[in-house]
């Protein structure tokens, strides 16, 4: 009887722990989806802002950078500012600040109000990435790779839903009320966070163990961060040229839309399945496989006709985006201190690379040809392979 009772108690405790972990993962994913949706939904408003405020294309780029640069550049400072708060409190503050930024943009404050709102919203989103990733990593500990892949995938869901929401409403409403509705969505997400308040205790012992890591682990983390930046550069560089590749093959705007959709749907699938691949091939083997496939498939799209190119884009999306989930899941393994600080550094590299890479690849194409620009993006993917092979000692070494 006592043995049976003890087993029943143990099972109930395990189930409660599982429920708590799921609540934490749901909380992080919902916030990630909202903030990534906020980021990409701004594209829907650019043509309207250009007309209303009489902006040039360069002016639009500056407007966009107010949000993007703030979000990317403040990852580390924002994380330091809120590092003593519980993850739930930090995520709630991030969401409220971002929603406040959208609300300011919705007010009739003119061009100045728009700029101020973009900066405030970018600051809110800068908090989300490191704190949300840390919540998932500390909740699941050594088994966090697959949950981090789900967390990474949730951002793609937000990128699909919120921009579509804004685009569908723009023919029906003025742009300011739509931004106000998006701010209300942020407030509702904050309420959901209160229901899904993280309950699993922070794994402080794991952080303490990581803080005693040696030089090999620190060097490995630096290398991982560079690899993450190059992986993002490959993706952003190829996306810059893809519409033009389709048009060169006599594809119209509908074909460009189909091409992008195939690449993005494949990318979403890649973020989910890449963790499965890493469990079977390991981090090094899976990244070598995905980057090699990415380089080969990018090169293939330079020579295929339109129909074949569209067929290739789906698997290319799987490999092109799948690597990112593997890399995100490796951050806790190589972090030498606070996991949120490590994620902040990693996300700064990734977001910064995403902003700079299109400019660099565009300059290469301007001074040579579009063909050379695409080849450069493929070679960037190939350059990751020897770098990730050099990462193996750090992954094999115990903290």
**C-alpha span between 60 and 47 (Å, rounded):** 9
CATH class of 209-396: mainly alpha
pLDDT tens digits, one per residue of 234-247: 988 888 888 888 88
**C-alpha span between 311 and 60 (Å, rounded):** 34
**C-alpha span between 204 and 138 (Å, rounded):** 8
**C-alpha span between 188 and 99 (Å, rounded):** 10
Cα 267 to chain centroid, rounded: 12
Return the pLDDT at 14: 36
Mean pLDDT for 341-355 is 80
Mean pLDDT for 13-35 is 74
Whether pLDDT at 231 is above 80: yes
The more confidently predicted of residues 288 and 352 is 288
The residue ranges of every structural domain in the chain are 2-202, 209-396
Return the pLDDT at 252: 79
Q: From 122, 142, 146, 133, select the one nearest 90 (Cα to Cα).
A: 133
pLDDT tens digits, one per residue of 300-340: 999 999 999 999 999 998 998 888 888 877 887 777 666 77
CA dihedral (162, 164, 165, 171) positive or negative: positive
- What is the phi/psi pair of residue 291, to 5°? -70, -35
Which distant-in-sequence residues (6+ apart) come within 8 Å of 268 by Cβ?
153, 156, 157, 160, 317, 321
Alpha helix (H) residue ranges in 301-369: 306-334, 339-367
Q: Which fold has domain 2-202?
A: Growth Hormone; Chain: A; (1.20.1250)
Which distant-in-sequence residues (6+ apart) come within 8 Å of 228 by Cβ?
324, 327, 346, 349, 350, 353
pLDDT tens digits, one per residue of 90-102: 888 889 999 999 9
Return the pLDDT at 204: 44
Return the pLDDT at 69: 82
Q: Are 322 and 273 in contact (CB under 8 A)?
A: yes
The more confidently predicted of residues 141 and 97 is 97
Return the pLDDT at 10: 40
Return the pLDDT at 337: 66
- Which tokens go with 180? 């106000």
Give the mean pLDDT of the chain: 81
pLDDT tens digits, one per residue of 51-61: 888 877 667 76
**How distant, in Å, are the alpha carbons of 238, 247, 305, 308, 375 from that of 250?**
19, 5, 9, 13, 21
Return the pLDDT at 295: 94
Domains 2-202 and 209-396 share a fold: yes
Mean pLDDT for 286-296 is 92
């Amino acid at each position: 009887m006592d043995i049976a009772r003890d087993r029943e108690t143990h099972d109930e405790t395990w189930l409660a722990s599982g429920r708590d972990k799921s609540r934490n993962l749901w909380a992080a994913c919902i916030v990630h989806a909202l903030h990534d949706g906020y980021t990409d939904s701004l594209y829907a408003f650019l043509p309207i802002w250009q007309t209303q405020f009489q902006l040039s294309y360069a002016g639009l780029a500056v407007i966009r950078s107010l949000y993007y640069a703030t979000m990317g550049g403040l990852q580390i400072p924002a994380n330091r500012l809120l590092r003593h708060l519980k993850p739930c409190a930090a995520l709630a503050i991030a969401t409220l600040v971002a929603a406040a930024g959208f609300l300011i943009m919705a007010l009739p404050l003119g061009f100045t109000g728009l700029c101020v709102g973009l900066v405030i919203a970018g600051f809110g989103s800068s908090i989300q990435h490191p704190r949300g990733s840390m919540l998932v990593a500390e909740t699941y500990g050594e088994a966090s790779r697959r949950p981090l892949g789900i967390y990474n995938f949730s951002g793609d869901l937000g990128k699909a839903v919120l921009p579509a929401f804004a685009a569908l409403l723009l023919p029906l409403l003025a742009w300011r009320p739509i931004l106000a509705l998006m701010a209300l969505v942020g407030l509702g997400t904050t309420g959901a966070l209160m229901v899904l308040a993280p309950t699993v205790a922070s794994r402080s012992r794991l952080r303490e163990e990581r803080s005693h890591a040696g030089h090999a682990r620190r060097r490995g983390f630096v290398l991982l961060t560079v690899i993450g930046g190059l992986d993002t550069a490959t993706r952003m560089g190829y996306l810059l040229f893809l519409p033009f590749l389709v048009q060169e093959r006599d594809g119209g705007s509908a074909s460009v839309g189909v091409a992008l959709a195939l690449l993005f749907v494949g990318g979403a699938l890649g973020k989910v399945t890449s963790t499965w691949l890493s469990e079977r091939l390991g981090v090094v083997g899976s990244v070598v496989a995905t980057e090699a496939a990415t380089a080969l498939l990018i090169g293939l799209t330079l020579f295929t006709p339109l129909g074949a190119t569209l067929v290739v884009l789906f698997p290319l999306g799987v490999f092109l985006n799948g690597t990112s989930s593997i890399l995100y899941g490796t951050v806790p393994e190589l972090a030498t201190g606070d996991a949120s600080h490590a994620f902040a550094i990693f996300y700064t590299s990734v977001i910064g690379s995403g902003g700079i890479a299109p400019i660099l690849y565009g300059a290469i194409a301007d001074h040579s040809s579009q063909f050379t620009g695409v080849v450069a993006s493929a070679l960037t993917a190939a350059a990751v392979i020897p770098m990730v092979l050099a990462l193996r000692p750090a992954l094999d070494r115990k903290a």
